[in-house]
């Protein structure tokens, strides 16, 4: 199953982990990524710590746990390749519209990553088994 099919059809939640140039680590809840036609994946981000860290360190890890019994999901090791600020594509892809005033003010970014490695949620993956 392709990543596009997987994320289009699998419910769950994700955690994006980043580190700044000094190695200070952050983790934040993120929804499922958007899988683009060119194979990159994209996340809509506010101008917060995760986005800030990616300006000095392009590497990130994304952990996705399926909304199912047990521990099923994926770990993706990522490298940022580009971003767009307040673009038309960003607002087209955005899944949530907050109406209760919870949405963050300020610029929004659509950040694109290449997937450098895909692993299961638990275990080393087949190539390292």
pLDDT-above-70 percentage for the chain: 90
Instruction: State residue 55's pLDDT score.
Output: 97
Flag whether pLDDT at 86 surpasses 90: no
Lowest pLDDT segment from 7-11, 38-42, 105-109:
105-109
Query: If you average pLDDT over every residue of the chain, what do you get?
Result: 90
How far apart, in whole angstroms, are the C-alpha atoms of residue 1 and residue 125?
16
Residue 27 lies in a domain: yes
pLDDT level of residue 100 (50, 70, 90 thresholds): very low
Using alpha carbons only, give the angle 45, 49, 53 rounded to the nearest 5 degrees: 95
The domain that holds 75 is classified in CATH as 2.30.110.10
Q: Mean pLDDT, to the nearest integer, of 106-115? A: 94
In a domain? residue 129? no
Number of domains in the chain: 1
Separation CA 109–CA 8 (nearest Å): 21
Say what percent of the chain tops pLDDT 90.
74
DSSP reduced 3-state for 73: strand
Find, among 56, 57, 54, 60, the residue nearest to 78 by Cα.
60
Domain containing 99 equals: 3-124
**Token pair of 103 as six digits:** 């949405």
What whole-number distance in Å separates Cα of residue 102 and Cα of residue 100? 6
Within-domain flag for 49: yes
Q: What is the average per-residue pLDDT within 68-81?
A: 95
Residue 4: both structure tokens together = 């596009």
- Per-residue pLDDT tens digits for 33-69: 999 999 999 999 999 999 999 999 999 999 999 998 9
Quick check: helix, strand or coil at residue 79? Answer: strand
């Amino acid at each position: 199953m392709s990543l596009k099919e997987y994320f289009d059809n699998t419910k769950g939640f994700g955690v994006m982990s980043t580190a700044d140039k000094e190695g200070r680590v952050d983790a934040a809840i993120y929804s499922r990524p958007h899988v683009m036609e060119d194979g990159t994946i994209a996340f809509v981000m506010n101008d917060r710590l995760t986005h800030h860290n990616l300006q000095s360190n392009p590497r990130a890890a994304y952990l996705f746990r399926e909304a199912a019994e047990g521990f099923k999901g994926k770990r993706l090791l990522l490298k940022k390749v580009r971003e767009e600020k307040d673009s038309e594509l960003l607002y087209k892809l955005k899944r949530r519209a907050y109406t209760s005033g919870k949405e963050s003010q300020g610029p929004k970014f659509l950040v694109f990553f290449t997937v450098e490695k895909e692993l299961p949620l638990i275990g080393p993956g087949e190539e390292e088994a």
